[in-house]
């Protein structure tokens, strides 16, 4: 385990997170901020998002058990999920030892109303906040300065089917971590977690299975670096 931070820190590692997570020491991550696949047949480059439910939840469970292990006590696990998954995630994660803290909302105003005929429009995505055991206070200045509903479009210029909203993601990082902390995203995608961590003086570790999306993430990080030179 010696030198593991030098191997991973502030890098987007291309590969399956199941290969790399076991090499991270126990209780070493300050914040996990991520966007797991929802199993709703999104057309990802190198991942099947249309698995049998049993296979999908076995896959998710194995990863979140590792996330519990690497997260520091009282620190936050924050992630988005499909609306129908809220009531699956909570008991599953509580059985692992996580404590449920909050349900927030990201509303994408560009989502088309009535895009699923005969169904309620899915105009928002849940943001779930858990901690490992106890509770680390949020950086919200005694309850002032942050809301729990974010209205923001996903970045349309990013060639990824589920790019996360940049300002919302930045708010979550500032709310749930401190400067110098290590933020882990096992499903890095197009690199939003890495980008906002770097912009807000946090360290990041990111794993992404698709070489195509790794290139996009690296390009976004490079553009940010050039902008500050």
Domain containing 180 equals: 4-227
- Determine the pLDDT at residue 69: 98
Q: Which two tokens stand for residue 208?
A: 């992404």
CA atoms within 13 A on the CB side of 98: 28
Find the Cα–Cα–Cα–Cα dihedral 90, 208, 158, 147, rounded to 10°: 30
Q: How many domains does the chain have?
A: 1
d(CA 11, CA 164): 19
- Domain of 43, CATH number, reads 3.40.50.150
Digit-coded pLDDT (tens) for 95-138? 999 999 999 999 988 876 656 677 787 889 999 999 998 988 99
For residue 160, the tally of other CB atoms under 10 A from its CB is 20
Return per-residue pLDDT of the chain as tens, 229 residues: 457 888 899 999 999 999 999 999 999 999 999 999 999 888 887 888 889 999 999 999 999 999 999 999 999 999 999 999 999 999 999 999 999 999 999 998 887 665 667 778 788 999 999 999 898 899 987 666 678 999 998 887 888 878 899 999 999 999 999 999 999 999 999 999 999 999 999 999 999 999 999 999 999 998 865 443 3
Sign of CA dihedral 10, 96, 19, 220: negative
pTM score over 0.85: yes
In this structure, what are the phi and psi dihedrals at residue 126, rounded to the nearest 5 degrees? -70, 150
- Determine the pLDDT at residue 227: 43
- Determine the pLDDT at residue 58: 97
């Amino acid at each position: 385990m010696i030198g593991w931070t030098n191997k991973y820190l502030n890098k987007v590692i291309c590969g399956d997170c199941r290969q790399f997570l076991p090499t991270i020491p126990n209780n070493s991550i300050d914040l996990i901020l991520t966007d797991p696949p929802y199993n709703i047949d999104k057309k990802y480059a190198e991942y099947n998002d249309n698995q049998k439910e049993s296979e999908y939840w076995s896959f998710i469970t194995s990863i979140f058990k590792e996330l519990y292990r690497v997260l520091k006590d009282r620190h936050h696990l924050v992630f988005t999920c499909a609306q129908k998954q809220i009531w699956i995630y909570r008991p599953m994660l509580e059985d692992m030892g996580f404590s449920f803290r909050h349900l927030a909302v990201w509303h994408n105003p560009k989502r088309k109303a009535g895009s699923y005929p005969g169904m309620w429009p899915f105009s928002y995505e849940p943001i779930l906040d858990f901690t490992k055991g106890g509770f680390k206070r949020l950086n919200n200045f005694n309850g002032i300065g942050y809301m729990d509903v974010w209205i923001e479009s996903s970045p349309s210029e990013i060639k990824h089917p589920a790019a996360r909203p940049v300002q919302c993601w930045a708010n979550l990082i500032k709310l749930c971590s401190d400067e110098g902390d290590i933020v882990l995203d096992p499903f890095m995608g197009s690199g939003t977690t890495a980008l906002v961590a770097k912009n807000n003086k946090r360290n990041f570790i990111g794993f992404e299975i698709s070489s195509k999306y790794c290139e996009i993430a690296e390009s976004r990080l490079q553009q940010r670096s050039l902008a500050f030179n």
